[in-house]
Chains A and B, each alone.
Chain A
Amino acid sequence: MGKSSKDKRDAYYRLAKEQGWRARSAFKLLQLDEEFNLFENVTRVVDLCAAPGSWSQVLSRVLIKNEKFGRHAWEDREAKFRQSMLKVIPSESKPQENSQQHQETKYVEPRSRPDVKIVSIDLQPISPLPGVITLRADITHPATVPLLLKALDPSHDSETSTNQQAQQPVDLVISDGAPDVTGLHDLDIYVQSQLLFAALNLALCVLKPGGKFVAKIFRGRNVDLLYAQLKVFFEKVNVAKPRSSRASSVEAFIVCINFQPPEGFKASLEEPLGVGGRLSELQQQQQDPISQSEPSKAGDDGITEVILEDLSGSDNKNRWIAPFIACGDLSAFDSDASYKLAADHVSLPPVQPPTAPPYKRAIELRRQNGGAYGKPVVSK
């Protein structure tokens, strides 16, 4: 396997290096934005579990530097050519839906949005980014709330204020956090859901009504319970899969639009959601149960939506499946496909080396002791 084999296997890995992104996941946020207009009228954003900072980098470049990224950032020109040749997409003469907002302008006069505030939090240090306040903290910890409130509003005084609600709330909270998976699916899904709840709990403290929340989710067992729980707080909940996220991965993104906290709800990290019975109480209070047959986005594609007769008698209480939306245009590179590289392709080094794993010392010691099959080290 040559150095460039990962460039071939993973088009977005190669593109990220070519376009100066810290990680390929930058494209996931860009493609989510293309579908959901996440950054529309957004000036105040919190990015959770941000390291190495590729999502914050997107925020910095879009909100501070006012750069625009459209489809051209991830478009596979050859695919587009072949698509029109094979008539996969309508011919060029037809107007393309939704493309107006995404003028493929190569250069826009740098004019930053006014009063932009971006706060990024992670356990790992994040290299500085223009216009981004970085905090090193644990998002599950109650102590992080005053830290975040202070960063959002320098006049916030955590000594006197016992309120964990932001006085100057934000428009958007995003989280791309995921644990190092163990392989025990049950546990991995649980830990990921805890990260999601940690992000949600913080979001509930800082998000303004009408705000948006985007977070990574593992689509595994009981994910329909999670969807139903998120629906307590937002008008619309979608699950989205950008084309830059591999089909083989359980990863997807929950996109929650229009924050509508239930009446009388007070967010607090002292009494977080995700453990205990508080959330199910909120679900009980919800007046109408969510109907599964919410009109899905698809349907205008000529496929008949079947009205399902459920004869199984299974208990779907507290379960709801959020509508799925694939995002990233068809002409986007396919994260599952292998690509041929140009003959003169030069494999670039990554923009930022990966952070040191906790077993770094183990690897070093093993090397000193004669490689992977050397004797295990015994120390006093």
Chain B
Amino acid sequence: MAQTSPPHPQTQLQHNFVLSPITALEFYLAGPSSSYLLAGEDTWLKIYDVATSHLVNQLRVFRSQPIHGIHAWKSEDGTSTTEGAFLIWGGQSVMVLSPSLVKSLIQGTALPELPTEFQVPDWIYDGILFSSNGEVQGALVTAHNEIVTLTLSSNGNLFQLGPVVSPSRPILYSANLTFLGNGTILVAGGTVFGEIIVWKFHLDSSPPPQWEVLYVFTGHEGSVFGVTISPEIEVAPGSKIRLLGSCSDDRTIRIWDITDRQLAVTQNGGEIDSKTLGEARETGFGGNSEVKEENKNDSTRGVAVAMGHLSRIWHVKFGEYTPGLEGPINVYSFGEDTTRQRWELSLDLAGSQGPKGALKHCTTDSCHSGKNIWSAAVSNREGQASFIATGGADGKIVISGGNPTPGLDGGYEEFDLSLAFDDVLEQIQRNSETPSMDPLPKGNAKHAFQKYAFLSDSRVITTTSPGRIFAAGIQETPKWKEIQLPDEVVADLRSYNVMKSVAMDTVVLGSSAGNIYLLQHGKSIRLVGKLSGKIQDVLPLVGAGVQDWQAVITVLGDDRAYILSYNALTDEATIGGLTLSLPEHYIATAAAQVGSTIILGSRVGVVTLYPPSEDNTDTIPPGYSCRDPKTKDAITAIVPLPGSSSDFLTTCRDGKYRIYSLGKENCAFTLYHEISPPMGMIEGAWFTSTEKPELILHGFKGKQFIHYNDTTSTVLASIECGGAHRSFDVISPRTNPNAFRLIFTKSSHLRFYSQPSASLRTLKEGGHGREIRAVACSATFKYIATAAEDTIIRIWTYSPTRPGIKCLATLEKHSSGIQSLQWLGDDCLISSAGSEELFVWRITQIDSHYETLAVKCEAVWNFCTKDKDLRIMSFDTSNVSSGGVNHELAIALSNSTVHTYSYNPKSGEFEFGSEARYTGACPMQLRYMPNGEDIMVAYTDGRLAIWTRPLYEPPPQAEMKLANKAPLGMGLLVKLHQSSIKSLDAVSPRGGRWIIATGGDDNALIITELGLDDMGKYKVGGRYRVSSAHGAAVTGLRIVRNEEDLIEVVTVSNGQRIKLWRAEPGRDGRGMRISLQDNKYSGIADAGDVEVISSGKVMVGGVGLEVWDFNPLK
């Protein structure tokens, strides 16, 4: 070590970016037209403009405590005002942001100093600000059913906490507060044991504080996770009721009547106090079949019960209602299953026992990925539709509702019609001016709708079994008319026809007699040709042209397909000028033109090229033809990628879409991208014509029809249609996929659905919905891959400017939690998981206007055991390749074995090399040593083994076999930790010596020096331990700096601290000095991994992800 080198400055960690669960949401309605959504993400308050989705501002509120709740001060009439302050809490911390601070936040002006963070004696579940006697005050309710009052100073800052008051102290899972006026606060608490306590607290009473218990509701059979007090609802002039909503572990939502009718059960020191809540009370679940005498009245206050959600229900909220109760009251519930459900509560007020009612289930919207909606807010503003916002464990914020903004939505109306055949006939007869055709008789049960096609945004057409054609122009609602057809056309189209929309205002029809008709809006139908047999299908040639369009016509049993060409200048359509010779038994189901090549897709998943014929013949023979080995399902669409003359996308009924690229001279194509979006069958795809094109898909998922934006991973519409295999057509404005129309047949009715905008809007993008287990960065820091318990891998890019990280691709193929990830260069990613899954992914950047990463699974490790129930805990690839191209790969299985393989990226095949079996302890980490031969493995028993093998000389005849078959033997075994080694990294800093850093379940950080002895055997130089490096298991570790005379290590832990350590040789050159350079709160719970993502930056993955800078202290 050089004596002259100046001392290294201390290294510091700085928080850079966080994506974590949204744990608090609140609406802040600042004025008649400006609405903001306040969100709590880790320690940060984020303010979004509801109209534009823009992040207005953000503020780090607490030092080391996530925000659990936000309350925006509301004036007497329930609306928040510009005068409003924010009350923010999390854990035991509380802070009030004064009106002037709020104003600066919204306007983006310089912020005054952050106010003091106060600590309450217990965990906070809810808080409110209110105005009493002209002063703004506050109150909090804690997890032990206690009220803590807050006094504010004249400048609006929190000044002091009041005494703690409670009628009884059961442990709660939820609580809600409402200010009643006259210095009274209404408190509702849901207990761990399924009870609900409703009580009143009198603020201004002289000490001791006065309270009265109103009700104790029993009925829930599990912990009460959510309680909410409704505003006072006017049911008749002068008559008001107040309701309480609750939701529970028992999967029920309950509504209770808590209208104050002077039925208070007990007051301070009252007789019932000790009886109701004291020692006589049987505690715990289940045994409460006996309702106590004093609670008998309470049971009559149960208004309605409903069962919903597939798992636990976290929140229930009241939504909009019509004063006077002319309509139902909207109730929303939010659950672990990531759905938001809407219910309609109808009330019957006539009974003597108080209001009774029913909850009717209306809609279920799946809002988030993974699990859990952790926060929800519903805006209630008189005369306006509610906004509903949800925040997930995935860090995403989804919003819906509000009044639609006219003009912004592409002009589509909102309707959902279901019409019987006779209903349409009725309309036609009413609307038609000069009927020249005989009206069809009503009441014929055999009359049916057959095919649908949109002529344009505002015009749709349907063929029918009697051979007649109906069209509807859409102005607010569809107005049906009949298209005038000659009798012979009606006869020709009767009982069988095919119809496709091929261009603006144009459809092509085919009949069983082989006739091809062209029907253009405003023109009479015309026959454009006749083919030799029954017309099987009309396939628009996608990408061929807009004005001068083309279509491929297929004929039943014909070995050729015919090109129909339209010339806009001459208004002529010609058929059969060009034909495509079909392979045997080929049924074409999709067609497109990419560059000058025509591509067909078949009913069994074959894609066939028709390169332009060189010798100008009329019949083009099929060129290269290929079926994806994994599918036998129909290709439903072929779409050229925008701005590319060689790449195209196919959609398939197997639920996948694929992107291929044409090879040189268009003689072949290669698969680049294969993805399963969340639908079972994809029926079509298109790209928006926006500046950055987005991919829009539609298809079926179970009984739903799904309209999906794949670029933003957003379900734009989900309509119950009864399932696949039915006639339908869809349309959207090319620039606005949120507006959408769908027409289809259901139960012999015509259903026509139209939406001006998607019901759900993503206000903020999220990430994984479960714990991240691995973070890996590609060789040149180009891509970051994260993998989680939700079985999903995401690929991101990082940019230092907002929003920090951007998700480029989502890989869904694993079926169990992912354990490990690793890149080979920038274009190959390997992932391992439980259920013996190890996949190799190939990543390519597509050269088109459509910005996406192409990803395909190139290989699947297939040496599985019979039951496939081992986990692949870890793996590594060797830097030494076998046979020039093959990669050496070692995997660690949960049955205490390590296997090596040779992987051939060309064939996607693995060849077994050798096996090393340990004691039975589970391997946790695996690394190749720098020689590319020996393998370092860390186990649950705290030991590190190095498996070595003798020099391998493959047998001379075995040139095809490339795997290293030399047996693995234990070269070194060293005890490091007391139990599991949870994290490991290694570097070779200088001449033949390695430094290994490990983090254990035993809270320790250990630095091990490793060298070789004279015999070339591994030898431990020294082991240096920091015993209590963290308060909990050290679950992630990375050596971030490796220099001549020091290394630096970043560690993360379940204790939610991120630490940076420096290890350098001891002062006299012997031993090792270890110093803690920095120690910061990390917002990532259950951290699983930490990785360097660019120079001076690390990413932490766990419950969410975080980016930290590490730099020399200035």
A→B interface (CB under 8 Å)? 1-2, 5, 8-9, 76, 78-79, 82-83, 86-88, 123-124, 136-138, 140-144, 146, 179-180, 182-186, 190-191, 194, 219-224, 227, 241, 243, 247, 250, 275-277, 292, 296, 298, 301-306, 308-312, 314, 319, 321, 323-326, 330, 333-334, 336-340, 356-359, 361-362, 365-366, 372-373, 375-380
For residues 290 through 341 of chain B, which have their beta carbon under 8 Å from a beta carbon of chain A? 304-312, 314, 336, 341
Chain A residues with CB under 8 Å of B918's CB are: 82, 86
Our pick among B143, B893, B979, B1078 for the contact of A326 (Cβ within 8 Å) is B979
> In the complex, A292→B1029 CA distance in Å?
11
Chain B residues with CB under 8 Å of A358's CB are: 194, 221-223, 248-250, 285
Chain A residues with CB under 8 Å of B284's CB are: 123-124, 136-138
- Check if A9 sits within 8 Å of B250, measured CB to CB: no
- Check if A337 sits within 8 Å of B1079, measured CB to CB: no
Verify if B497 is at the interface (C-beta below 8 Å from A).
no
- Check if B920 sits within 8 Å of A76, measured CB to CB: yes
Taking the nearest CB of chain B, how far is it from the CB of A332, in angstroms? 9
Among B309, B310, B919, B1055, the most chain A Cβ lie within 10 Å of the Cβ of B919
Our pick among A277, A302, A309, A339 for the contact of B895 (Cβ within 8 Å) is A339
Additional A-B contact list (6), CB under 8 Å, known A314-B1079, A334-B940: A190-B143, A275-B142, A305-B1027, A306-B1026, A334-B941, A376-B309
Our pick among B309, B374, B1085 for the contact of A220 (Cβ within 8 Å) is B1085
Known pairs A337-B896, A361-B221, A376-B361; A219 contacts B1055 (CB<8 A): yes
- Check if A308 sits within 8 Å of B1076, measured CB to CB: yes
Taking the nearest CB of chain A, how far is it from the CB of B613, in angstroms? 52
Our pick among A82, A185, A380 for the contact of B917 (Cβ within 8 Å) is A82
Our pick among A141, A146, A376 for the contact of B308 (Cβ within 8 Å) is A376
Known pairs A182-B312, A308-B1075; A338 contacts B871 (CB<8 A): yes
Known pairs A1-B867, A86-B970, A277-B121; A359 contacts B250 (CB<8 A): yes
Known pairs A143-B279, A311-B1077; A298 contacts B1027 (CB<8 A): yes
Verify if B115 is at the interface (C-beta below 8 Å from A).
no
> In the complex, A334→B1003 CA distance in Å?
19
> In the complex, A356→B250 CA distance in Å?
11
Our pick among B91, B973, B1074 for the contact of A308 (Cβ within 8 Å) is B1074
By the criterion of a CB under 8 Å from any partner CB, how many residues of chain B are at the interface?
119
The proximity string for B residues 901-921 relative to A, scoring 1 for CB distances below 8 Å and 0 otherwise, is 000000000000000011111
Verify if B627 is at the interface (C-beta below 8 Å from A).
no
> In the complex, A357→B221 CA distance in Å?
9
Our pick among A140, A142, A324 for the contact of B279 (Cβ within 8 Å) is A142
Known pairs A221-B1055, A275-B122; A138 contacts B283 (CB<8 A): yes
Our pick among B194, B222, B869, B980 for the contact of A247 (Cβ within 8 Å) is B980
Verify if B251 is at the interface (C-beta below 8 Å from A).
yes
For residues 1063 through 1105 of chain B, which have their beta carbon under 8 Å from a beta carbon of chain A? 1071-1080, 1085-1086, 1103
> In the complex, A340→B361 CA distance in Å?
49
The contact sample of 5 A-B pairs, CB cut-off 8 A, is: A88-B941, A275-B144, A305-B1027, A311-B1076, A380-B358
- Check if A186 sits within 8 Å of B973, measured CB to CB: no
- By DSSP majority rule, is chain B's interface helix, strand, loop, or mixed? loop
Closest A residue to B65 by beta carbon equals A186
Verify if B561 is at the interface (C-beta below 8 Å from A).
no
For residues 153 through 199 of chain B, which have their beta carbon under 8 Å from a beta carbon of chain A? 164, 170-171, 192-194
Taking the nearest CB of chain A, how far is it from the CB of B1002, in angstroms? 4
> In the complex, A11→B307 CA distance in Å?
38
Taking the nearest CB of chain B, how far is it from the CB of A216, in angstroms? 14
Chain B residues with CB under 8 Å of A337's CB are: 894-896, 920-922, 940
- Check if B307 sits within 8 Å of A220, measured CB to CB: no
The proximity string for B residues 1023-1058 relative to A, scoring 1 for CB distances below 8 Å and 0 otherwise, is 111111011110000000000000000000011100
- By DSSP majority rule, is chain A's interface helix, strand, loop, or mixed? loop
Known pairs A247-B980, A326-B942, A361-B250; A305 contacts B1025 (CB<8 A): yes
Taking the nearest CB of chain A, how far is it from the CB of B950, in angstroms? 18
Chain B residues with CB under 8 Å of A304's CB are: 1022-1025, 1071-1072
> In the complex, A264→B1036 CA distance in Å?
44
- Check if B1076 sits within 8 Å of A336, measured CB to CB: no
Verify if B591 is at the interface (C-beta below 8 Å from A).
no
- Check if A137 sits within 8 Å of B1075, measured CB to CB: no
> In the complex, A357→B56 CA distance in Å?
45
> In the complex, A377→B251 CA distance in Å?
11
Nearest first, the 5 closest Cβ-Cβ pairs linking A and B are A358-B222, A143-B279, A138-B283, A123-B284, A79-B920
Verify if B575 is at the interface (C-beta below 8 Å from A).
no
Verify if B71 is at the interface (C-beta below 8 Å from A).
no
Chain A residues with CB under 8 Å of B286's CB are: 124, 356
Taking the nearest CB of chain B, how far is it from the CB of A276, in angstroms? 4
Chain A residues with CB under 8 Å of B249's CB are: 180, 357-359
Chain A residues with CB under 8 Å of B223's CB are: 180, 358
Taking the nearest CB of chain A, how far is it from the CB of B661, in angstroms? 39
Chain A residues with CB under 8 Å of B793's CB are: none
Verify if B794 is at the interface (C-beta below 8 Å from A).
no
Our pick among B23, B307, B1072 for the contact of A362 (Cβ within 8 Å) is B307
> In the complex, A180→B225 CA distance in Å?
12
Closest B residue to A322 by beta carbon equals B1028
- Check if A309 sits within 8 Å of B1075, measured CB to CB: yes
Closest A residue to B1103 by beta carbon equals A185
Verify if B10 is at the interface (C-beta below 8 Å from A).
yes
- Check if B304 sits within 8 Å of A309, measured CB to CB: no
Known pairs A220-B1054, A340-B895; A194 contacts B171 (CB<8 A): yes
Our pick among A86, A301, A336, A365 for the contact of B940 (Cβ within 8 Å) is A336
Our pick among A8, A136, A250, A301 for the contact of B1054 (Cβ within 8 Å) is A250
> In the complex, A275→B237 CA distance in Å?
46
- Check if B1032 sits within 8 Å of A303, measured CB to CB: no
Known pairs A86-B970, A310-B1075, A338-B895; A194 contacts B251 (CB<8 A): no
Among B66, B280, B341, the most chain A Cβ lie within 10 Å of the Cβ of B66
> In the complex, A191→B192 CA distance in Å?
10
The proximity string for B residues 111-144 relative to A, scoring 1 for CB distances below 8 Å and 0 otherwise, is 0000000000111000000000000000000111
Verify if B475 is at the interface (C-beta below 8 Å from A).
no
Chain A residues with CB under 8 Å of B68's CB are: 186
> In the complex, A310→B1057 CA distance in Å?
15
- Check if B896 sits within 8 Å of A87, measured CB to CB: no
Chain B residues with CB under 8 Å of A380's CB are: 304-305, 356, 358
Verify if B768 is at the interface (C-beta below 8 Å from A).
no
> In the complex, A254→B382 CA distance in Å?
54
> In the complex, A78→B1086 CA distance in Å?
33
For residues 204 through 263 of chain B, which have their beta carbon under 8 Å from a beta carbon of chain A? 221-223, 225, 248-252
- Check if B360 sits within 8 Å of A339, measured CB to CB: no
- Check if B940 sits within 8 Å of A247, measured CB to CB: yes
For residues 489 through 525 of chain B, which have their beta carbon under 8 Å from a beta carbon of chain A? none
The proximity string for B residues 794-810 relative to A, scoring 1 for CB distances below 8 Å and 0 otherwise, is 00000000000000000
- Check if B1022 sits within 8 Å of A221, measured CB to CB: no
Taking the nearest CB of chain B, how far is it from the CB of A221, in angstroms? 4
- Check if A220 sits within 8 Å of B1055, measured CB to CB: yes
Taking the nearest CB of chain B, how far is it from the CB of A14, in angstroms? 14
The proximity string for B residues 990-1019 relative to A, scoring 1 for CB distances below 8 Å and 0 otherwise, is 000000000001111010000000000000
- Check if B919 sits within 8 Å of A306, measured CB to CB: no
Known pairs A5-B869, A79-B921, A86-B918; A306 contacts B1025 (CB<8 A): yes
Among B164, B281, B922, the most chain A Cβ lie within 10 Å of the Cβ of B922
- Check if A123 sits within 8 Å of B283, measured CB to CB: yes
Chain B residues with CB under 8 Å of A361's CB are: 221, 250
Chain B residues with CB under 8 Å of A194's CB are: 143, 171
Taking the nearest CB of chain B, how far is it from the CB of A311, in angstroms? 5
Our pick among A2, A137, A146, A312 for the contact of B1079 (Cβ within 8 Å) is A312
- Check if A312 sits within 8 Å of B1059, measured CB to CB: yes
- Check if B371 sits within 8 Å of A183, measured CB to CB: yes
Our pick among A88, A275, A378 for the contact of B121 (Cβ within 8 Å) is A275
- Check if A372 sits within 8 Å of B310, measured CB to CB: yes
